[in-house]
Amino acid sequence: MAETVTWAQMTSLVPQIDLVSAMEAAFVAYSEGNAVIPPVGELQFSDPPGDVHLKYGYLRGGRHYVVKIASGFYDNPKLGLPSSNGLMLLFDQETGSPKAVLLDEGRLTDLRTAAAGAVAAKHLGPTEVAAVGIVGAGIQARLQLQALEAVTPCRSAWVWARRPEAAKEYVADLSPRGWEVRVASSTTQLLQNSNLVVTTTPSTEALVCGKDVRPGTHITAVGSDTESKRELDTELVGSADCVVGDSLAQCRTRGEIARAVAEGFDPERVQELGAVISGRAAGRESEEQITVVDLTGVAVQDLAIAEAIYDQLQG
């Protein structure tokens, strides 16, 4: 019988997992063709605004397959509720028997996304990070900055949010971790002062423009994971020296790269993150290059974190 595990039961297990290494291995396996990942299932809502993603898959020769449901309802904070929720189901790959029901409330998705941001920064970010720029001030904005602690000694950051009060709350929450966080009045000011930037919003209009990005900057785009969302303008994607996607297949249909392709960007310029990690594709080649990573979220990440939690439960 499947073991049902609540988020409260998982919280003590997460710190024991090396999520950055787990995501690196997952991306490499995906890019080497070892994963079976069907297209994303999706529901979109307009009133109230929200979306639900169904992601699932397995590794050839692996132990399990995963089915993950993750939602984002963006008016939830007005109700005192988190914007994200969901669960993961882990099954035995040989028999199809359910092994675990992970009632993670969407937290495992948040954590694996943040870890992927750290992976992107580790392999494509500048050697010397002057300051980190975070666009957005929600849960993912917080987790991205925390995840970067594993890959850079920099503890200086700028944050921009649509609501100034949200940015101030962000500063108050991250400062006790040793971060010196300043509030930017615009994304332009943020880009002028940061050379490692992470965008974390559900915006449907570009917030970060190519004309504002200084040489040597790395940008990880996290928020755009549907056809309608975007955070980067096409000028930025088109002028970047290196453009990387977590999944070439997914990035052709959703996210920043898909929006840029619809406006004339050549998809043949895109490298896959797992190939960059393994060295089969070129990443950043100089400190002056501008690099962009588009993270649309791939089911191998969900499989990796679900298996890691399950293994911890088994002792």
Exactly one of 68, 99, 122, 168 is catalytic; which is it? 68
- Catalytic residue flag (residue 78): no
Give the 3-state secondary structure of the chain: CCEEEEHHHHCCCHHHCCHHHHHHHHHHHHHCCCEECCCCEEEEEECCEEEEEEEEEEECCCCEEEEEEEEEECCHHHHCCCCEEEEEEEEECCCCCEEEEEECCCHHHHHHHHHHHHHHHHHHCCCCCCCEEEECCCHHHHHHHHHHCCCCCCCEEEEECCCHHHHHHHHHHHHHHCCEEEECCCHHHHHHHCCEEEECCCCCCCCECHHHCCCCCEEEECCCCCCCCCCECHHHHHHCCEEEECCHHHHCCCHHHHHHHHCCCCHHHEEEHHHHHHCCCCCCCCCCCCEEEECCCCHHHHHHHHHHHHHHHHC
- Catalytic (active-site) positions: 68
